[in-house]
Amino acid sequence: MSVQSNFSADKTLDCKGLACPMPVVRTKKAMEELLPGQVMEVQATDKGSLADLKSWANNTGHEFLGTIQEGEVWKHFLRKASTHEVKEETNFLRTISNEELQKKLEANEKLTLIDVREPAEYAFHRISLAISIPLGVLEERLDELQPDDDIYIICRSGKRSDMACQLLAEKGFTKITNVVPGMSGWNGPVEKQ
């Protein structure tokens, strides 16, 4: 969804140059300063911020209004929820450490590993078995996954993969695990572009 370029916001938050999970972390904190119904513009250069902020808004009850792209900057607009609309933010409960995942991979256990980072992140530093399905297109590509498979989700920090796990759980997937902390702390073998 896009919005008109003359749209005004009650608050502007500069998240340019920040990678996941920082745009969401800063948006969450800044949202506390707004009154219900007020609109925040979040400016970000991380392409993944679109999927991240949409997911975060959906999980917390705030309304994601849309995005305008101006050059390398994405301007995301969110409306603060009223008290009765706010949902308590939850984390996906089933997690695994990087080291535990590495042991499963070394033992050649049957599993599906989905990397939900953006394509550029995946291209330059990835686990060889990982399938690239960015969070922003995950819902569109559910038919590529088997709901009863053991599915492990990884991203850079564990935040985007957490949102992906919650989405898959909502869609009926039952064996989903979030890899924490993800690629930022991965010491196992990787492929690079």
List residues with catalytic annotation: 20
Sequence-distant contacts of 92-96: CB under 8 A, at least 24 apart: 92/162, 92/165, 92/166, 92/169, 92/176, 92/178, 94/165, 94/176, 94/177, 94/178, 95/158, 95/177, 95/178, 95/179, 95/180, 96/152, 96/177, 96/178, 96/179, 96/180
- Which token pair is 41? 């513009």
Q: Of 147, 113, 150, whose CA–CA distance to 133 is shortest?
A: 113
Question: What's the rounded Cα separation, in Å, for the pair 160 and 143?
Answer: 20
Side chain identity at residue 49, one-letter code: S
> Strand order in 95-97's β-sheet?
95-97, 176-180, 151-154, 112-115, 131-132
Q: Of 4, 21, 62, 68, whose CA–CA distance to 42 is shortest?
A: 68
